[in-house]
Amino acid sequence: MKFAVLVFPGSNCDLDMYHAIKDELGEEVEYVWHDEQDLSAYDGILVPGGFSYGDYLRCGAMANQSNVMSEVKKAAEAGKPVLGVCNGFQILTEAGLLPGALLRNKKLKFMCKNVDLKVANNNTMFTNQYAQDEVISIPIAHGEGNYYCDGETLKQLQDNNQIVFTYSGENPNGSLADIAGIVNERGNVLGMMPHPERAISEVIGGAEGLALFKSIVKQWRESNVNQA
């Protein structure tokens, strides 16, 4: 499986994402600059965290205007897995690929620590290697991770089982309904604030994020076998 790691001016988690795929997962991966206009060669798209364009205007708003985002939308429409982490989640909401918005943390402070997440839906291409309701420890590092949507959208997320991760115990940023990660209706676009790419080896404090990437590869391989 071949992954693209998008790189915007101000991205700072692209290295972590690349390392997770190449060195821990053992799959192909390339950095893709934000002005790229063709992502057809890639099987999966990864939108990393950081501070794209300095987080000016709104987080992710300027990145959404980059050439590559039209290609990300095409990849999503084609059913390819698209993962946005932290600033990547913010970019995906700005692009309309996921509903809702990310607001300032409730305490108005940048937070950087490990948090407990519950796998609220393990029946997705991103979570099939987890157990339902499994609690995992994943790092966060954000100032605007407070997920918000209107009541109608929240009901749709709940009814369609699109809430994939919720904060377990402490809700660090005030997110509505403890939401930490959601998928689109089709289930191939995931946005999450915690950083699974920073939890892929016991050497760096834990490997509970690696199963997310393994889930993507498993689903992709099964899909290709079925198509063959």
The active-site residue, picked from 13, 59, 86, 149, is 86
* Contact present, 49 and 86 (Cβ < 8 Å): yes
What distance lies between CA 142 and its chain's CA centroid? 14
66's tokens: 């980059």
Label the pairing between strands 2-7 and 189-192: unpaired
Q: How far apart are CA 66 and CA 37, in angstroms?
A: 10
Q: Is 108 left (phi over 0), alpha (psi -120 to 50) or beta?
A: left
Residue type, 108: L
Q: Which of 27, 94, 197, 208 is catalytic?
A: 197
Per the CB < 8 A criterion, the answer to whether 32 and 4 are in contact is yes
Locus of tokens 């809702």: 100
Helix (H) or strand (E) segment spanning residue 117: strand 111-119
Catalytic site residue 86? yes
| Angle at 86 (CA atoms; ends 120, 161), nearest 5 degrees | 25
Exactly one of 13, 27, 195, 208 is catalytic; name it. 195
Look up 30 and say whether it is catalytic: no
Whose structure tokens read 């995931």?
A: 190
Contact 9, 53 (CB under 8 A): yes
Active site residue 195: yes
Which residues are part of the catalytic machinery? 86, 195, 197
